[in-house]
Amino acid sequence: MADRIPSGTRDVLPDEMRELRAMTDRIRAVFERAGYGEVYTPALEYERTLHPDDQTPNPAYRLFDEHGDVLMLRSDMTVPIARVVGTRYPTAPTPLRFSYFAHAYRGVRPQRGQSREFLQAGVELVGSPAPDGTAEALTVLCDALDAAGLKNFRIGMGDVSLYPALLESVGVPADVSERILAELATGDFVGVERELAELRLTGADARLLLRVPRMRGGPEILEDLTGPLEQAGTGMRAVHALLSSGTAARVIFDFGLVRSLGYYTGAVFQVYDPAYGVPIGGGGRYDELLARFGRPLPAVGFALNVERLHIALTAEERDEL
């Protein structure tokens, strides 16, 4: 019987590896040119560093070291880099720019494009607030995808603070808000509708709460906004105004985008390609995470799933035939 490997892991052989390497080399050149120095951190961190309850998506692997401390395989690079900033750069002038090509580990249902050990290519920009920092991250993201050779990608941009603010503004109780946000995160719009129907809101409020998460499209959706929407719209317009026309044309606005990661505070993005049915990467602003590591600084970053990027590239090539 052949020796097996753990569920959700896989071997990469030379033909695939050559293509992956060519792709990551082109992305690395973009990161370097933009001033993002590459770092590598341990795959294993203390569990307490990663805060698995609210700040680490779907951790899969924990173990004990010889002292009985609980170690965890990191499930992204954002928290480890925040730790690096707090410990290795306690007084360094900002902004700080870091890039990485590193494996992360999550307890996902294994399938193609979704391994439990997966390679991420990403950047973190620390100390640069919205809108300038957000615009810079989006620019580097677009340049990296262009360099990888992806042609038809789009970047969805939302704001995680938008919908919670909207729920609060119409007086939805906190526990119900939690349920509604969880349903929104899984894309259960029928569930959202049912929760809202039980709240006995005014017709106008209920319609607004149903309509907003379905608002997605070009800059036209940012026009004529009022109340809590106006504030989020102003923020997104400010980011959009800073982008080059090429990058701006890639952005679609999505008021329903609620990435379920605990540490996001403002703008969030997700990368899509019409040739591939799952997102290729994502990111966003996490303006409060660094405070946990002793340097309260605004920050923004993104990560691309290298395997999914490769699948999308292959799918685009196939569609062109």
Residues that bind other proteins in the complex, under the rule CB under 8 A? 109, 154, 156, 186-191, 193, 214, 216-217, 252, 254, 272-274, 276-279
Residue 37 Cβ vs other proteins, minimum distance, rounded to whole Å: 32
Q: Do the strands 96-105 and 37-38 form a parallel or antiparallel pair, or are they unpaired?
A: parallel
C-alpha to C-alpha distance for 218 and 266, rounded to whole angstroms: 19
69 contacts: CB under 8 Å, gap ≥ 6 = 46, 47
Residue 195 Cβ vs other proteins, minimum distance, rounded to whole Å: 13
C-alpha to C-alpha distance for 189 and 21, rounded to whole angstroms: 40
Contact 103, 76 (CB under 8 A): no
DSSP sequence for 137-153: HHHHHHHHHHHHT--S-
Nearer CB in complex with other proteins: 1/190? 190
Q: 8 in the Ramachandran plot: left (φ > 0), alpha (ψ -120 to 50) or beta?
A: left
Nearer CB in complex with other proteins: 168/319? 319
Residue 2 Cβ vs other proteins, minimum distance, rounded to whole Å: 28
Phi, psi of 34 (to 5 degrees): -85, 0
Residue 154 Cβ vs other proteins, minimum distance, rounded to whole Å: 6
Nearer CB in complex with other proteins: 187/294? 187
Nearer CB in complex with other proteins: 96/142? 142
Residue 28 Cβ vs other proteins, minimum distance, rounded to whole Å: 26
Contact 79, 55 (CB under 8 A): yes
Question: Residue 9, Cβ neighbours under 10 Å: how many?
Answer: 13
Nearer CB in complex with other proteins: 90/217? 217
Residue 38 Cβ vs other proteins, minimum distance, rounded to whole Å: 30
Nearer CB in complex with other proteins: 132/188? 188
